[in-house]
Chain A
Amino acid sequence: MTATNTAVVAKYQNNFLQEVEANVEEGDWVKMCMQCGVCAGSCPLGDAWDHSPQEIFMMIRAGKREEVLTSDSMWMCTSCYNCIVRCPRELPITHIMHGLANYAHRLGIAHKKNPTRRFAKIFWDNVTKNGRANELTLSIRLYFMDGIVSGIKIGLQMVGMGLGMLKTGRLDPMALVMHKGIKDTKGLHAMLKKAYEIEGKRKGYAS
């Protein structure tokens, strides 16, 4: 358990709903769920989840903190917005799912091997490095996410597409050594750092 996690557990005792309301994006909507189940039935990835959104909301109210925050459900959301459109109470379910994923990540208890979480992290590091996504290094990092052997395997599978993109000018091989970012990279980093601090202070995270 991380220090942040221990601190919030102490602060909210057994009231996980209050914890979610205070710390998770759009978390104060959770109590509005009336358990009709339309979100679960409408989710195109419904079969692939540990828990449906409706079930997650009930688990939050039942105080099942550990199970919720370590669930893979919120990481499976593809933001198709079917649930938001159909929810009879207009809960921003997609946003809550992403909020929960982010919260679990910030607390350091999200599954380290969850592929969505890892992709999100790789993408974030890549895009914040100099303010623009470097598609070449991003793809390479992703291919080699699970080690050299699988990385080479995926790389070989993708050769055809890579060459095609090269031919049509959709891929810049020079990006491997030099990628043109935004003008004020330092300013961007300072801004992100400040935002991170402010969020931490507001939500009581130890930074």
Chain B
Amino acid sequence: MTDLVATNETILVVGGGISGMTAAIEAAECGKDVVLIEKTPALGGRVSQLYKYFPKLCHPVCGLEINLRRLKAQKRLRVLTMAQVTNISGNAGDYSVSIKVSPRYVNENCTACGACAEAVSSEIDDPFQYNMSRTKAVYLPFNMAYPQRYVIDGSIIGTAEADQAKTACQYNAVDLDMSEETLELKAGAVIWATGWKPYDANKIQPYGYDRYANVITSVEFERMMDPYGPTAGKLLRPSDNKEAKNIAFIQCAGSRDRNHLTHCSRICCMASLKQSTYISEQYGDDDDAKSTIYYIDIRAIDRFEDFYKKVQDDPKTHFVKSKVANITEDEKTGDVILHGVDTEGYNRYDNSHDLCVLAVGMTPNANIKEVAADTHTDVSGFIEADEANGAIFGAGCASNALDVNRSVQHATAASLRAIQVVNRVASAEA
């Protein structure tokens, strides 16, 4: 790791999700030296946790595979996982960046055979499944993880289990003496692509995410559909593992709300429209299966209006123009009851559903001001395109609430900006 060479002609990309990977790959394909750092043990980010993308409803593993192939072909691109930026100093064309690298306890010898995981029994919450299920404390982050290398969770270090994992490994890949490292890198430009995280649904008190088992978030619902997810691809509601057929979606859960996020998170309408198609996919012609979308107004951004129209024509999907006021629970059945008044006729409703999905908003995943205090951000914490930011460029969801398509476009733009900076540095030095 210490052999990592970076100069002020290097582009540093922070965050290995779809935006960061795109920015890093495209800069490298243009012949630039790139260092891509990622906080978690594997690249892929939140897109790898999706079951399907809208609007084509194809599976993200496909796009991930293409990107990983492009990435592996680039000799100029170095990837550091389990690494976090702790400080950025300097100016455009001349940054010094401090990076903290956490120990993985597994080295490059790993063949991902899985013998180490079989040797241990301790379990931890699985972050890839949004903590909906548990995984072994020695684990591969997910099937398509890059690098394909196991991780030993810090919680079992120093125990007999860690030693069992080491003994189980035939390839001498377990290194329990690894410790946290700090690196100082030079960089000409920094692309900040740390992405988003779902808004904390516990803060939306009237919806009872913290109190009712059958109120879940949209990202959790997405995991349920994945054959490798916590419910193995079945829509099982958490309270009794019964198949959820009558499903409610609540839009603007935390977005467009001065008590929570003031911005519109843009993707949630399309996400719920997409997720409503999962119900037909799962249950076919079953008459009991239906989805109800409660909304203020549907913002099927840009060219996605036709997708909205298609979902509207689906007899299994119903729309109620109303922001739900609050949710209660039927204690006997575990069903959730949504209360409110609709705007088309002002009719009061108390609708019972098997499961309620909150279409939670997007909030920035990392606060760049903690490492580069002078960076300009908007009121929601997204990085603004401001000249005062020098050569620190936001890409993807670090800059705004964007869907995958726009994140990729935005990352390409950020990549071009960074390339211009390092080109200036190169011509000044020549």
Contacts and interface: CB of A to CB of B under 8 A. Distances in A.
Interface of A: 34-38, 40-42, 46-47, 51-52, 54-55, 85-86, 88-90
Nearest to B296: A36
Contact of B259 (A37, A47, A88): A88
Main secondary structure of the interface of B (DSSP, over half): loop
Interface stretch (B43-51, B306-314, B337-345): B337-345
Contacts of A90: 258-259
Contact of B325 (A41, A55, A89): A41
Given A36-B322, A41-B325, A55-B346, A86 B341 contact: no
B92 to A, nearest CB: 40
B100 to A, nearest CB: 39
Nearest to B262: A88
B258 A37 contact: no
Contacts of B343: 35-37, 54
B251 to A, nearest CB: 10
B305 interface: no
When A and B form their complex, which 5 residue pairs have the shortest distance between CB atoms, in order from nearest?
A: A41-B325, A41-B340, A36-B323, A40-B341, A88-B257
Nearest to A40: B341
6 contacts: A36-B252, A37-B325, A37-B342, A40-B340, A42-B325, A47-B348
Nearest to B338: A41
B298 to A, nearest CB: 13
B252 A88 contact: yes
Contacts of A35: 296, 343
A37 B323 contact: yes
Given A38-B340, A41-B322, 13 more contacts: A37-B321, A37-B322, A37-B323, A37-B341, A40-B346, A41-B326, A41-B340, A42-B326, A47-B348, A52-B341, A55-B346, A86-B259, A88-B257
Contacts of A46: 341, 348
Contacts of B257: 88
Contacts of B206: 42, 86
Contacts of B341: 37, 40-41, 46, 52, 54
Q: Bin the interface of chain B by size.
A: 20 to 34
Most B CB within 10 A of own CB, among A37, A42, A85: A37
B256 interface: yes
Interface in B320-365: 321-326, 339-343, 346, 348
Interface in B194-242: 206
A54 B348 CA distance: 12
Nearest to A55: B346
Interface in B342-395: 342-343, 346, 348
A34 B340 contact: no
A155 B322 CA distance: 46
Given A88-B257, A90-B258, A52 B326 contact: no
A88 B326 CA distance: 13
Interface string B101-117: 00000000000000000
B58 to A, nearest CB: 33
Contacts of B326: 41-42
Contacts of B322: 36-37, 41
Contacts of A36: 252, 296, 322-323, 343
A37 B256 contact: no
Given A47-B348, A86-B206, A37 B340 contact: yes
B339 A41 contact: yes
Contacts of A34: 256, 296
Most B CB within 10 A of own CB, among A41, A47, A90: A41
A54 B346 contact: yes
A42 B259 CA distance: 15
Given A52-B341, A89-B258, A38 B346 contact: no
A77 B337 CA distance: 25
A187 to B, nearest CB: 43
B258 A88 contact: yes
A41 B258 CA distance: 18
A86 B256 CA distance: 12
B346 A51 contact: yes
A52 B252 CA distance: 21
Contacts of B348: 40-41, 46-47
Contacts of A37: 321-323, 325, 340-343, 346
Most B CB within 10 A of own CB, among A38, A54, A55: A38
Interface in B100-149: none
Contacts of A51: 346
A180 B428 CA distance: 90
Contacts of A42: 206, 325-326
A199 B325 CA distance: 37
Nearest to B346: A55
Interface string B85-102: 000000000000000000
A51 B322 CA distance: 16
A54 B325 CA distance: 12
A85 B260 CA distance: 12
Nearest to B256: A88
Nearest to B206: A86
A168 B242 CA distance: 59
A48 to B, nearest CB: 11
A36 B252 CA distance: 10
B259 to A, nearest CB: 7
A89 B341 CA distance: 17
A40 B345 CA distance: 12
Nearest to A83: B325
Contacts of B252: 36, 88
B325 A86 contact: yes
